[in-house]
Chain A
């Protein structure tokens, strides 16, 4: 069974499950001109499923706000949740290349871009929550807070990099930038370290979660280092000098 037919079957059974007594899909009566079968098949494409899944944390936070589920300090809880999700999407993004190297699946770059943009999306919400929901745009306090809080410096550094990577992520930008695109996008590695310091540096005691993420990020970075080293060795052994190596 190919992927295509699996999607077809799933979409069909979905439409059948939500059909009325006339055997028609319940929404078809309201929007008769919509091709529901095609729409659901489109939704079931892996890329679109990934987008939906990546929006679930936001929806979940939204529900917790509406039902006042964020505890005694909802402002901080919201802020932390957004930061945590940004970090998680960063980890997912950094996992794509190793997966591609190991499995040799084609087309993984699309997903690296997609999850990278979600990392940027949650980081932006994290930053906006800090500026508006927490600091209420009181700039004198914000400026002092940032100047006096070393952990925020690392967050700012990481955000600047992630911002630059996000705005240069479209294919057109990649084409235009040529070689420097890859150079720029390698800054995600120091940015990941900055993110980890940003996480660690604001805590008073609990080290369990930050240690977990630190190990994860170090592991993912170590994969690159090992690859780079291996490629270098290989290029020394077999490839004539002067030929550029693609190590990513």
Chain B
């Protein structure tokens, strides 16, 4: 499914259609033989040569504004491991992600506990090129591979009492040594936000499996909210009657709201959100003006039409 909207990502930020087509073919080819995650990874490995050609085509085109993969892979906030955005690349490798299963429970008719491969076999993967804006004031353009969360939620048949969705990350204490926040990491969305077609569960990026530091094997992507909402390494999805208490909100309720919609007009209590540093830009490049809802307002603003965005920050 391609979401057609009026205000799209500018041409310069979109993957060349030809490349996209090639990628989709490959993703479909992989999916056609969806068996186990391990076999999925071997498929990735088997098709390595094709992917290499693809990335050549990618760098060869000046139309593209996707952030280089190397930068996205080595600039991650993963506080379970470290505060340092570069050390997390190495430390996250200690995470055990095979086998992986996800519970979907709570206010649902058919609770599920699925192995990842089982979960993926029901979904069709696609590439989604989204902007990612961190609350710290930097941003990226990432080609995610994933599927809309709505498709998965439909399978468990949410009850009418389900108003919120709570996501919980894995907590492997032998690999994750960093303190400060309360683990496991928890995030949440309102149900209408969760089933919005832009909201994804991602399993890959740049046409490959997600690196561990980027949230493997399964992460949330909510492109109109600050990055900390897009929780990594999900093991549990709960549908709830009331809003869950989320990790950053619990840590500093006046600084990190439940909604955390990207909004240049609502500064963080200690810093401005008016602009962002696009990762990969050179010295003396002006910062990019931050857009309301990270530029996805056309698609998502209606969900917040009767809300005071300063109060519900």
Question: Does B associate with A?
Answer: yes
Interface residues of A, Cβ cutoff 8 Å to B? 71-76, 78, 132-136, 138, 141, 144-145, 147-152, 201-202, 204-208
CA distance A144 to B274 in the complex (A): 7
Check A141 against B284 for contact (C-beta < 8 Å). Answer: no
User: Nearest-CB distance from A229 to chain B (Å)?
Assistant: 34
CA distance A21 to B252 in the complex (A): 70
Interface residues of B, Cβ cutoff 8 Å to A? 70-71, 74-75, 79, 83-86, 135-136, 138, 180-181, 267, 269-275, 277, 279-281, 283-287, 289
Check B274 against A76 for contact (C-beta < 8 Å). Answer: no
Check A75 against B283 for contact (C-beta < 8 Å). Answer: yes
CA distance A150 to B85 in the complex (A): 24
Q: A75 contacts which of B70, B180, B270, B281 (Cβ < 8 Å)?
A: B281
User: Nearest-CB distance from A153 to chain B (Å)?
Assistant: 10
**Those 8 A-B pairs whose CB atoms lie nearest each other, nearest first:** A206-B83, A148-B272, A72-B75, A136-B286, A148-B267, A149-B271, A72-B71, A145-B272
Check A72 against B74 for contact (C-beta < 8 Å). Answer: yes
Check A72 against B274 for contact (C-beta < 8 Å). Answer: no
CA distance A205 to B247 in the complex (A): 13
- Of chain A, the residue at the smallest CB distance from B68 is A72
Check A133 against B284 for contact (C-beta < 8 Å). Answer: yes
Check B275 against A204 for contact (C-beta < 8 Å). Answer: no
Chain A residues within an 8 Å CB radius of B273: 148
| New A-B contacts (6) at CB < 8 Å, excluding given A149-B272, A152-B271, A202-B271 | A72-B85, A75-B283, A78-B283, A141-B287, A145-B275, A148-B273
> Is chain B's binding surface mostly helix, strand, loop or mixed?
loop
Chain A residues within an 8 Å CB radius of B135: 204
Task: Given A202-B270, A205-B83, A205-B180, answer yes or no on A74-B275 (Cβ-Cβ < 8 Å).
Answer: no
CA distance A133 to B284 in the complex (A): 4
- Of chain B, the residue at the smallest CB distance from A77 is B86
Chain A residues within an 8 Å CB radius of B287: 134-136, 138, 141
Q: A132 contacts which of B71, B267, B281, B284 (Cβ < 8 Å)?
A: B284
**Could you jot down 14 A-B contacts, CB within 8 Å?**
A72-B74, A74-B283, A75-B285, A136-B285, A141-B275, A141-B287, A144-B272, A145-B274, A149-B267, A150-B270, A150-B271, A151-B271, A201-B270, A206-B83
Chain A residues within an 8 Å CB radius of B275: 141, 145
Q: A133 contacts which of B75, B86, B138, B283 (Cβ < 8 Å)?
A: B283
Chain A residues within an 8 Å CB radius of B284: 132-133, 136
User: Nearest-CB distance from B63 to chain A (Å)?
Assistant: 23
CA distance A147 to B274 in the complex (A): 11
Check A71 against B136 for contact (C-beta < 8 Å). Answer: no
CA distance A96 to B120 in the complex (A): 64
User: Nearest-CB distance from B252 to chain A (Å)?
Assistant: 9
User: Nearest-CB distance from A83 to chain B (Å)?
Assistant: 15
User: Nearest-CB distance from B310 to chain A (Å)?
Assistant: 13
User: Nearest-CB distance from A93 to chain B (Å)?
Assistant: 27
- Of chain A, the residue at the smallest CB distance from B273 is A148
CA distance A72 to B70 in the complex (A): 8
Check B75 against A73 for contact (C-beta < 8 Å). Answer: yes
CA distance A206 to B87 in the complex (A): 13
Chain A residues within an 8 Å CB radius of B270: 149-151, 201-202
User: Nearest-CB distance from A35 to chain B (Å)?
Assistant: 41
Task: Given A133-B284, A136-B287, A151-B271, answer yes or no on A75-B86 (Cβ-Cβ < 8 Å).
Answer: no
Chain A residues within an 8 Å CB radius of B269: 150
Check A72 against B272 for contact (C-beta < 8 Å). Answer: no
Chain B residues within an 8 Å CB radius of A75: 277, 281, 283, 285
Check B181 against A73 for contact (C-beta < 8 Å). Answer: no
- Of chain A, the residue at the smallest CB distance from B271 is A149
User: Nearest-CB distance from B142 to chain A (Å)?
Assistant: 13
Check A148 against B271 for contact (C-beta < 8 Å). Answer: yes
Task: Given A148-B274, A149-B271, answer yes or no on A73-B138 (Cβ-Cβ < 8 Å).
Answer: yes
Q: A72 contacts which of B180, B279, B283 (Cβ < 8 Å)?
A: B279
Task: Given A136-B287, A141-B289, A148-B271, answer yes or no on A71-B86 (Cβ-Cβ < 8 Å).
Answer: yes
User: Nearest-CB distance from A198 to chain B (Å)?
Assistant: 11
Task: Given A136-B284, A141-B289, A151-B270, answer yes or no on A76-B277 (Cβ-Cβ < 8 Å).
Answer: yes
Chain B residues within an 8 Å CB radius of A201: 270
Check A71 against B271 for contact (C-beta < 8 Å). Answer: no
Check A205 against B181 for contact (C-beta < 8 Å). Answer: yes
CA distance A208 to B83 in the complex (A): 10
Chain B residues within an 8 Å CB radius of A152: 271
Chain B residues within an 8 Å CB radius of A208: 83
CA distance A145 to B289 in the complex (A): 11
CA distance A151 to B269 in the complex (A): 10
- Of chain B, the residue at the smallest CB distance from A208 is B83
